[in-house]
Structure 1
Amino acid sequence: MWVIGGKDGAGRITNTVFVYNPNASARERWRCGTPMNHARHGLCAAVLEGKLYAIGGTDAEGASDRVEVWNGEAWELGKSMIVKRTDFSVGVLEQQLYAVGGDGECRSMNFPVECYIPERDRWTAVGTRASQSIRRGVGVAGNVLYSAGETGFSCLRRNLRGLLSWNRGPELPISIEGFDVVVDCTQLYIIGGVPDDETATNFWRFNTTENYDRGNWRPLLSPLGSPRYDVKAALL
Protein backbone atom coordinates (compact mmCIF):
# COMPACT_ATOMS: atom_id res chain seq x y z
CA MET A 1 0.00 0.00 0.00
CA TRP A 2 1.40 3.38 -1.03
CA VAL A 3 0.56 6.69 0.70
CA ILE A 4 1.57 9.74 -1.33
CA GLY A 5 1.63 13.50 -0.93
CA GLY A 6 -0.70 15.45 1.36
CA LYS A 7 0.26 17.78 4.21
CA ASP A 8 2.53 17.06 7.14
CA GLY A 9 1.83 17.84 10.80
CA ALA A 10 2.86 21.47 10.27
CA GLY A 11 0.46 21.92 7.34
CA ARG A 12 3.17 21.99 4.66
CA ILE A 13 2.42 20.47 1.23
CA THR A 14 4.64 17.43 0.69
CA ASN A 15 5.79 15.14 -2.13
CA THR A 16 6.77 12.32 0.25
CA VAL A 17 5.82 8.69 -0.32
CA PHE A 18 5.29 5.97 2.31
CA VAL A 19 5.06 2.26 1.42
CA TYR A 20 3.34 -0.25 3.75
CA ASN A 21 4.20 -3.97 3.71
CA PRO A 22 1.96 -6.02 6.09
CA ASN A 23 4.29 -9.02 5.80
CA ALA A 24 7.33 -7.17 7.17
CA SER A 25 8.28 -6.93 10.84
CA ALA A 26 6.40 -4.35 12.92
CA ARG A 27 9.25 -1.83 12.77
CA GLU A 28 9.76 -2.24 9.03
CA ARG A 29 6.17 -2.26 7.75
CA TRP A 30 6.37 1.41 6.77
CA ARG A 31 9.28 2.63 4.61
CA CYS A 32 9.98 5.76 2.61
CA GLY A 33 9.47 5.54 -1.17
CA THR A 34 10.74 7.74 -4.01
CA PRO A 35 9.22 11.24 -3.64
CA MET A 36 7.02 12.63 -6.41
CA ASN A 37 8.45 15.34 -8.68
CA HIS A 38 5.78 17.81 -7.54
CA ALA A 39 4.41 18.34 -4.01
CA ARG A 40 0.60 18.20 -3.86
CA HIS A 41 -2.24 17.67 -1.42
CA GLY A 42 -5.85 16.81 -2.18
CA LEU A 43 -4.65 14.61 -5.06
CA CYS A 44 -5.88 11.14 -6.06
CA ALA A 45 -3.98 7.86 -6.42
CA ALA A 46 -4.98 4.80 -8.44
CA VAL A 47 -3.36 1.72 -9.98
CA LEU A 48 -4.06 0.89 -13.62
CA GLU A 49 -2.29 -1.84 -15.60
CA GLY A 50 0.43 -2.17 -12.96
CA LYS A 51 1.25 1.54 -12.82
CA LEU A 52 0.53 3.98 -9.98
CA TYR A 53 -1.13 7.26 -11.01
CA ALA A 54 -0.91 10.44 -8.88
CA ILE A 55 -3.66 12.69 -10.22
CA GLY A 56 -4.61 16.34 -9.76
CA GLY A 57 -4.71 17.97 -6.33
CA THR A 58 -3.43 21.33 -5.10
CA ASP A 59 0.12 22.59 -5.48
CA ALA A 60 1.66 25.97 -4.61
CA GLU A 61 -0.25 27.61 -7.50
CA GLY A 62 -3.71 26.15 -6.75
CA ALA A 63 -5.82 23.34 -8.22
CA SER A 64 -3.88 21.13 -10.64
CA ASP A 65 -4.60 18.88 -13.62
CA ARG A 66 -1.13 17.30 -13.32
CA VAL A 67 -0.70 13.52 -13.58
CA GLU A 68 2.44 11.64 -12.51
CA VAL A 69 2.88 7.91 -13.18
CA TRP A 70 5.13 5.54 -11.22
CA ASN A 71 6.53 3.05 -13.76
CA GLY A 72 8.27 0.83 -11.20
CA GLU A 73 11.54 2.77 -11.27
CA ALA A 74 10.71 6.48 -11.40
CA TRP A 75 7.88 9.04 -11.61
CA GLU A 76 7.09 10.15 -15.17
CA LEU A 77 4.71 12.77 -16.58
CA GLY A 78 1.26 11.49 -17.54
CA LYS A 79 -1.61 12.91 -19.59
CA SER A 80 -3.16 15.92 -17.82
CA MET A 81 -6.85 15.94 -16.92
CA ILE A 82 -9.32 18.19 -18.73
CA VAL A 83 -10.33 20.01 -15.54
CA LYS A 84 -8.05 21.22 -12.75
CA ARG A 85 -9.47 19.77 -9.57
CA THR A 86 -8.64 18.95 -5.97
CA ASP A 87 -10.28 17.03 -3.11
CA PHE A 88 -11.93 14.67 -5.61
CA SER A 89 -12.09 10.89 -6.04
CA VAL A 90 -10.69 8.37 -8.53
CA GLY A 91 -11.70 4.76 -9.15
CA VAL A 92 -10.84 2.09 -11.73
CA LEU A 93 -13.77 0.40 -13.47
CA GLU A 94 -13.35 -1.87 -16.49
CA GLN A 95 -9.66 -0.89 -16.86
CA GLN A 96 -10.49 2.79 -17.04
CA LEU A 97 -9.89 5.62 -14.56
CA TYR A 98 -12.86 7.68 -13.36
CA ALA A 99 -12.34 11.08 -11.69
CA VAL A 100 -15.39 12.03 -9.59
CA GLY A 101 -16.44 15.31 -7.96
CA GLY A 102 -14.02 17.69 -6.26
CA ASP A 103 -13.27 21.39 -6.14
CA GLY A 104 -11.24 23.74 -8.33
CA GLU A 105 -10.52 27.26 -9.49
CA CYS A 106 -14.18 27.92 -10.22
CA ARG A 107 -15.08 26.76 -6.68
CA SER A 108 -17.64 24.37 -8.16
CA MET A 109 -18.47 21.05 -6.48
CA ASN A 110 -20.37 19.63 -9.44
CA PHE A 111 -17.69 18.64 -11.94
CA PRO A 112 -18.55 16.19 -14.72
CA VAL A 113 -16.95 12.76 -14.36
CA GLU A 114 -13.75 12.36 -16.37
CA CYS A 115 -12.72 8.99 -17.80
CA TYR A 116 -9.15 8.05 -18.77
CA ILE A 117 -8.66 5.21 -21.29
CA PRO A 118 -4.98 4.13 -21.37
CA GLU A 119 -5.14 2.78 -24.94
CA ARG A 120 -6.11 6.26 -26.17
CA ASP A 121 -3.95 8.08 -23.60
CA ARG A 122 -6.49 10.82 -23.04
CA TRP A 123 -9.18 12.01 -20.63
CA THR A 124 -12.79 12.28 -21.81
CA ALA A 125 -15.61 14.14 -20.06
CA VAL A 126 -18.66 11.89 -19.68
CA GLY A 127 -22.22 13.02 -19.03
CA THR A 128 -22.75 11.30 -15.67
CA ARG A 129 -22.47 13.62 -12.67
CA ALA A 130 -21.60 12.33 -9.22
CA SER A 131 -22.59 13.46 -5.74
CA GLN A 132 -21.87 17.16 -5.13
CA SER A 133 -19.20 16.61 -2.52
CA ILE A 134 -15.50 17.19 -2.03
CA ARG A 135 -13.01 15.29 0.17
CA ARG A 136 -14.46 11.90 -0.72
CA GLY A 137 -12.48 8.65 -0.72
CA VAL A 138 -13.07 5.99 -3.38
CA GLY A 139 -12.32 2.27 -3.67
CA VAL A 140 -13.45 -0.36 -6.19
CA ALA A 141 -14.32 -4.02 -5.54
CA GLY A 142 -15.56 -6.12 -8.46
CA ASN A 143 -17.83 -3.94 -10.58
CA VAL A 144 -18.77 -1.60 -7.73
CA LEU A 145 -17.14 1.71 -6.80
CA TYR A 146 -17.38 2.71 -3.11
CA SER A 147 -17.21 6.41 -2.25
CA ALA A 148 -16.91 7.62 1.36
CA GLY A 149 -17.82 11.10 2.56
CA GLU A 150 -17.51 12.69 5.98
CA THR A 151 -20.07 10.38 7.64
CA GLY A 152 -21.13 7.61 5.25
CA PHE A 153 -20.57 5.46 2.17
CA SER A 154 -22.14 5.49 -1.28
CA CYS A 155 -21.90 2.66 -3.83
CA LEU A 156 -21.60 3.41 -7.55
CA ARG A 157 -22.54 0.64 -9.97
CA ARG A 158 -23.98 0.22 -13.45
CA ASN A 159 -27.71 -0.43 -13.73
CA LEU A 160 -29.43 -2.60 -16.34
CA ARG A 161 -29.16 0.22 -18.88
CA GLY A 162 -25.40 0.46 -18.35
CA LEU A 163 -25.60 3.81 -16.53
CA LEU A 164 -23.84 4.65 -13.28
CA SER A 165 -26.10 5.13 -10.23
CA TRP A 166 -25.48 5.71 -6.50
CA ASN A 167 -26.77 3.66 -3.53
CA ARG A 168 -26.38 4.38 0.20
CA GLY A 169 -23.80 2.33 2.17
CA PRO A 170 -22.74 1.93 5.86
CA GLU A 171 -21.92 4.90 8.08
CA LEU A 172 -18.40 5.55 9.32
CA PRO A 173 -17.55 4.92 13.00
CA ILE A 174 -16.39 8.55 13.41
CA SER A 175 -16.97 11.75 11.47
CA ILE A 176 -13.74 12.75 9.69
CA GLU A 177 -12.57 14.42 6.50
CA GLY A 178 -9.39 14.59 4.44
CA PHE A 179 -8.92 10.77 4.44
CA ASP A 180 -8.77 8.16 1.68
CA VAL A 181 -10.25 4.69 1.13
CA VAL A 182 -8.52 1.52 -0.07
CA VAL A 183 -10.44 -1.68 -0.92
CA ASP A 184 -8.77 -5.08 -0.47
CA CYS A 185 -11.21 -7.91 -1.26
CA THR A 186 -13.97 -7.51 1.38
CA GLN A 187 -12.16 -4.89 3.46
CA LEU A 188 -12.31 -1.10 3.16
CA TYR A 189 -9.42 0.79 4.74
CA ILE A 190 -9.62 4.43 5.89
CA ILE A 191 -6.23 6.13 5.82
CA GLY A 192 -5.43 9.33 7.75
CA GLY A 193 -7.88 12.21 8.11
CA VAL A 194 -8.90 14.80 10.68
CA PRO A 195 -12.07 14.80 12.85
CA ASP A 196 -14.79 17.39 12.24
CA ASP A 197 -14.59 18.51 15.88
CA GLU A 198 -10.89 19.29 16.28
CA THR A 199 -11.37 20.74 19.77
CA ALA A 200 -12.66 17.39 21.11
CA THR A 201 -9.92 15.21 19.61
CA ASN A 202 -6.17 15.35 20.13
CA PHE A 203 -3.44 15.44 17.46
CA TRP A 204 -3.16 11.66 17.24
CA ARG A 205 -6.45 11.50 15.38
CA PHE A 206 -4.40 12.36 12.30
CA ASN A 207 -2.81 8.94 12.72
CA THR A 208 -6.15 7.10 12.76
CA THR A 209 -6.34 4.08 10.41
CA GLU A 210 -9.53 2.03 10.54
CA ASN A 211 -11.11 -0.61 8.32
CA TYR A 212 -14.58 -1.87 7.52
CA ASP A 213 -14.83 -5.67 7.34
CA ARG A 214 -18.17 -7.45 6.91
CA GLY A 215 -20.12 -4.73 8.70
CA ASN A 216 -17.75 -4.17 11.63
CA TRP A 217 -15.27 -1.30 12.01
CA ARG A 218 -12.07 -1.90 14.02
CA PRO A 219 -8.76 0.00 14.35
CA LEU A 220 -5.63 -1.43 12.75
CA LEU A 221 -2.75 -2.38 15.05
CA SER A 222 -0.16 -0.46 12.99
CA PRO A 223 -1.03 3.24 12.52
CA LEU A 224 0.32 5.39 9.72
CA GLY A 225 4.01 6.22 10.25
CA SER A 226 3.40 9.99 10.21
CA PRO A 227 0.25 12.14 10.69
CA ARG A 228 -1.46 12.95 7.39
CA TYR A 229 -4.63 14.53 6.05
CA ASP A 230 -5.77 15.41 2.50
CA VAL A 231 -3.93 12.20 1.56
CA LYS A 232 -4.47 9.52 -1.10
CA ALA A 233 -3.56 5.82 -1.02
CA ALA A 234 -3.65 2.83 -3.39
CA LEU A 235 -2.73 -0.87 -3.45
CA LEU A 236 0.15 -1.80 -5.76
Structure 2
Amino acid sequence: MKRGFPLAIQKLADRVTARLGFSCAFALVALISTAPLYAEEPPTLLIMGDSLSAAYGIEQDQGWVTLLAERLEDDAQVVNASISGETTSGGAQRFADIIGQQQPDIVLLELGGNDGLRGLPPAQMRANLATMIEQSQQADAEVLLLGIDIPPNYGQAYRDAFTGVYHSLAEEYDLSLVPFLLEDIALNKQLMQSDGIHPTAEAQPIILDNVWPALEPMLEETYQASSQ
Protein backbone atom coordinates (compact mmCIF):
# COMPACT_ATOMS: atom_id res chain seq x y z
CA MET A 1 0.00 0.00 0.00
CA LYS A 2 2.99 2.25 0.28
CA ARG A 3 4.92 3.57 -2.64
CA GLY A 4 8.35 5.10 -1.93
CA PHE A 5 10.06 7.82 -3.91
CA PRO A 6 13.46 8.73 -2.28
CA LEU A 7 15.23 7.71 -5.52
CA ALA A 8 13.23 10.32 -7.43
CA ILE A 9 14.34 12.97 -4.92
CA GLN A 10 17.99 12.01 -5.40
CA LYS A 11 17.71 12.23 -9.18
CA LEU A 12 16.10 15.65 -8.95
CA ALA A 13 18.85 16.85 -6.60
CA ASP A 14 21.52 15.63 -9.01
CA ARG A 15 19.99 17.64 -11.83
CA VAL A 16 19.74 20.77 -9.68
CA THR A 17 23.35 20.36 -8.52
CA ALA A 18 24.55 20.22 -12.11
CA ARG A 19 22.68 23.39 -13.04
CA LEU A 20 22.55 25.58 -9.94
CA GLY A 21 25.23 24.32 -7.58
CA PHE A 22 25.40 22.41 -4.34
CA SER A 23 23.79 25.01 -2.05
CA CYS A 24 20.57 25.19 -4.09
CA ALA A 25 20.39 21.42 -4.35
CA PHE A 26 20.84 21.04 -0.59
CA ALA A 27 18.01 23.49 0.07
CA LEU A 28 15.73 21.64 -2.34
CA VAL A 29 16.38 18.25 -0.75
CA ALA A 30 15.83 19.70 2.73
CA LEU A 31 12.47 21.12 1.64
CA ILE A 32 11.25 17.92 -0.01
CA SER A 33 12.45 15.78 2.90
CA THR A 34 9.91 17.45 5.20
CA ALA A 35 7.11 15.82 3.14
CA PRO A 36 5.99 12.22 3.81
CA LEU A 37 8.24 9.62 2.22
CA TYR A 38 5.30 7.56 1.04
CA ALA A 39 2.20 8.15 -1.01
CA GLU A 40 -0.64 6.16 0.55
CA GLU A 41 -3.01 4.04 -1.47
CA PRO A 42 -6.48 3.85 0.08
CA PRO A 43 -7.54 0.44 1.39
CA THR A 44 -9.97 -1.68 -0.59
CA LEU A 45 -13.21 -2.90 0.98
CA LEU A 46 -14.95 -5.86 -0.64
CA ILE A 47 -18.64 -6.39 0.10
CA MET A 48 -19.63 -9.97 -0.61
CA GLY A 49 -23.37 -10.17 -0.13
CA ASP A 50 -26.85 -10.85 -1.44
CA SER A 51 -29.85 -8.64 -2.19
CA LEU A 52 -29.53 -6.83 1.14
CA SER A 53 -26.26 -5.35 -0.11
CA ALA A 54 -27.20 -5.23 -3.80
CA ALA A 55 -29.89 -2.54 -3.31
CA TYR A 56 -32.74 -4.85 -4.32
CA GLY A 57 -35.96 -2.99 -5.12
CA ILE A 58 -34.45 0.47 -4.76
CA GLU A 59 -32.12 2.70 -6.75
CA GLN A 60 -28.49 1.58 -6.65
CA ASP A 61 -27.30 4.91 -5.29
CA GLN A 62 -29.71 4.56 -2.34
CA GLY A 63 -28.20 1.30 -1.08
CA TRP A 64 -26.16 1.17 2.11
CA VAL A 65 -23.02 0.13 0.23
CA THR A 66 -23.17 3.28 -1.91
CA LEU A 67 -23.80 5.32 1.24
CA LEU A 68 -20.70 3.71 2.75
CA ALA A 69 -18.62 4.66 -0.28
CA GLU A 70 -19.90 8.23 -0.04
CA ARG A 71 -19.05 8.40 3.67
CA LEU A 72 -15.51 7.18 3.05
CA GLU A 73 -15.02 9.36 -0.06
CA ASP A 74 -11.36 9.00 -1.09
CA ASP A 75 -10.32 7.25 2.14
CA ALA A 76 -11.16 3.79 0.76
CA GLN A 77 -12.18 2.00 -2.40
CA VAL A 78 -15.45 0.12 -2.03
CA VAL A 79 -16.08 -2.86 -4.31
CA ASN A 80 -19.58 -4.33 -4.22
CA ALA A 81 -19.65 -7.94 -5.42
CA SER A 82 -23.13 -8.60 -4.04
CA ILE A 83 -25.75 -10.42 -6.15
CA SER A 84 -29.45 -10.68 -5.38
CA GLY A 85 -30.43 -14.25 -4.58
CA GLU A 86 -26.88 -15.30 -3.77
CA THR A 87 -26.37 -18.21 -1.38
CA THR A 88 -23.24 -19.05 0.55
CA SER A 89 -22.60 -21.85 -1.93
CA GLY A 90 -22.73 -19.46 -4.90
CA GLY A 91 -20.57 -16.95 -3.07
CA ALA A 92 -17.97 -19.56 -2.19
CA GLN A 93 -17.76 -20.68 -5.81
CA ARG A 94 -16.84 -17.24 -7.12
CA PHE A 95 -15.02 -15.83 -4.11
CA ALA A 96 -11.49 -17.00 -4.89
CA ASP A 97 -11.50 -15.23 -8.26
CA ILE A 98 -12.92 -12.03 -6.80
CA ILE A 99 -10.48 -11.80 -3.91
CA GLY A 100 -7.61 -12.54 -6.28
CA GLN A 101 -8.65 -9.73 -8.61
CA GLN A 102 -9.50 -7.12 -5.99
CA GLN A 103 -6.93 -7.94 -3.27
CA PRO A 104 -9.06 -6.31 -0.54
CA ASP A 105 -7.82 -5.16 2.83
CA ILE A 106 -11.22 -5.75 4.45
CA VAL A 107 -13.97 -8.19 3.43
CA LEU A 108 -17.53 -7.55 4.59
CA LEU A 109 -19.18 -10.95 4.37
CA GLU A 110 -22.97 -10.65 4.18
CA LEU A 111 -24.30 -14.01 3.06
CA GLY A 112 -26.57 -16.68 4.49
CA GLY A 113 -30.00 -15.10 4.31
CA ASN A 114 -30.99 -17.01 1.19
CA ASP A 115 -29.68 -20.25 2.69
CA GLY A 116 -32.04 -19.70 5.59
CA LEU A 117 -35.03 -18.77 3.45
CA ARG A 118 -34.52 -21.98 1.46
CA GLY A 119 -34.18 -24.04 4.61
CA LEU A 120 -30.69 -25.24 3.70
CA PRO A 121 -28.64 -27.01 6.38
CA PRO A 122 -26.85 -24.56 8.70
CA ALA A 123 -23.81 -26.85 8.67
CA GLN A 124 -23.52 -26.39 4.91
CA MET A 125 -23.86 -22.63 5.28
CA ARG A 126 -21.19 -22.64 7.95
CA ALA A 127 -18.76 -24.59 5.80
CA ASN A 128 -19.21 -22.20 2.88
CA LEU A 129 -18.72 -19.13 5.04
CA ALA A 130 -15.67 -20.72 6.68
CA THR A 131 -14.14 -21.28 3.25
CA MET A 132 -14.49 -17.60 2.36
CA ILE A 133 -13.17 -16.51 5.73
CA GLU A 134 -10.11 -18.72 5.41
CA GLN A 135 -9.44 -17.50 1.87
CA SER A 136 -9.69 -13.91 3.09
CA GLN A 137 -7.27 -14.49 5.94
CA GLN A 138 -4.84 -16.28 3.64
CA ALA A 139 -4.92 -13.13 1.46
CA ASP A 140 -4.18 -10.97 4.56
CA ALA A 141 -7.65 -9.42 4.50
CA GLU A 142 -9.59 -8.68 7.67
CA VAL A 143 -13.17 -10.01 7.77
CA LEU A 144 -16.27 -8.34 9.14
CA LEU A 145 -19.11 -10.85 9.41
CA LEU A 146 -22.59 -9.40 8.89
CA GLY A 147 -25.21 -11.62 10.45
CA ILE A 148 -28.87 -11.97 9.53
CA ASP A 149 -31.96 -13.67 10.98
CA ILE A 150 -34.91 -15.46 9.42
CA PRO A 151 -38.67 -15.26 10.09
CA PRO A 152 -40.17 -17.06 13.12
CA ASN A 153 -42.21 -19.46 10.97
CA TYR A 154 -39.04 -21.48 10.27
CA GLY A 155 -39.15 -22.73 13.84
CA GLN A 156 -37.05 -21.73 16.83
CA ALA A 157 -34.67 -24.68 16.60
CA TYR A 158 -33.73 -23.87 13.01
CA ARG A 159 -33.45 -20.15 13.76
CA ASP A 160 -31.13 -20.82 16.69
CA ALA A 161 -28.94 -23.10 14.58
CA PHE A 162 -28.94 -20.54 11.75
CA THR A 163 -28.00 -17.47 13.80
CA GLY A 164 -25.58 -19.56 15.83
CA VAL A 165 -23.46 -20.05 12.72
CA TYR A 166 -22.41 -16.40 12.71
CA HIS A 167 -21.51 -16.36 16.39
CA SER A 168 -19.54 -19.60 16.26
CA LEU A 169 -17.58 -18.46 13.19
CA ALA A 170 -16.80 -15.11 14.79
CA GLU A 171 -15.47 -16.91 17.86
CA GLU A 172 -13.51 -19.56 15.99
CA TYR A 173 -11.81 -17.16 13.56
CA ASP A 174 -11.64 -14.16 15.92
CA LEU A 175 -13.77 -11.94 13.68
CA SER A 176 -15.68 -8.75 14.23
CA LEU A 177 -19.41 -9.45 14.01
CA VAL A 178 -22.55 -7.44 13.37
CA PRO A 179 -25.07 -9.88 14.90
CA PHE A 180 -28.10 -8.66 12.95
CA LEU A 181 -27.73 -6.42 9.92
CA LEU A 182 -31.40 -5.36 10.00
CA GLU A 183 -31.51 -4.41 13.68
CA ASP A 184 -34.27 -1.79 14.29
CA ILE A 185 -35.50 -2.36 10.72
CA ALA A 186 -36.91 -5.87 10.23
CA LEU A 187 -39.86 -5.44 12.60
CA ASN A 188 -40.76 -1.95 11.35
CA LYS A 189 -43.16 -2.33 8.43
CA GLN A 190 -42.51 1.24 7.32
CA LEU A 191 -38.85 0.36 6.73
CA MET A 192 -39.53 -2.88 4.85
CA GLN A 193 -40.68 -3.39 1.27
CA SER A 194 -43.99 -5.11 0.59
CA ASP A 195 -42.32 -8.54 0.48
CA GLY A 196 -41.41 -8.20 4.16
CA ILE A 197 -37.84 -9.31 3.41
CA HIS A 198 -36.05 -6.39 1.81
CA PRO A 199 -35.52 -2.99 3.46
CA THR A 200 -36.66 0.26 1.85
CA ALA A 201 -34.48 3.16 0.77
CA GLU A 202 -35.28 4.88 4.06
CA ALA A 203 -33.78 1.93 5.94
CA GLN A 204 -30.41 2.04 4.19
CA PRO A 205 -28.80 4.71 6.43
CA ILE A 206 -29.81 2.63 9.45
CA ILE A 207 -28.12 -0.43 7.94
CA LEU A 208 -24.96 1.61 7.51
CA ASP A 209 -25.24 2.79 11.12
CA ASN A 210 -25.50 -0.87 12.18
CA VAL A 211 -22.32 -1.73 10.28
CA TRP A 212 -20.23 1.34 11.06
CA PRO A 213 -19.38 0.75 14.77
CA ALA A 214 -17.74 -2.58 13.86
CA LEU A 215 -16.18 -1.36 10.62
CA GLU A 216 -14.69 1.94 11.81
CA PRO A 217 -12.04 0.44 14.17
CA MET A 218 -11.05 -2.02 11.43
CA LEU A 219 -10.50 0.89 9.05
CA GLU A 220 -8.44 2.75 11.64
CA GLU A 221 -6.21 -0.29 12.15
CA THR A 222 -5.77 -0.61 8.39
CA TYR A 223 -4.79 3.06 8.06
CA GLN A 224 -2.30 2.73 10.92
CA ALA A 225 -0.75 -0.43 9.46
CA SER A 226 -0.35 1.19 6.04
CA SER A 227 1.45 4.22 7.51
CA GLN A 228 4.12 2.19 9.31
Normalised to the residue count of structure 1, the TM-score between the two structures is 0.29
Normalised to the residue count of structure 2, the TM-score between the two structures is 0.29
Higher fraction of helix: 2
Q: Which has the higher contact order (CA 8 A, sep 6+)?
A: 2
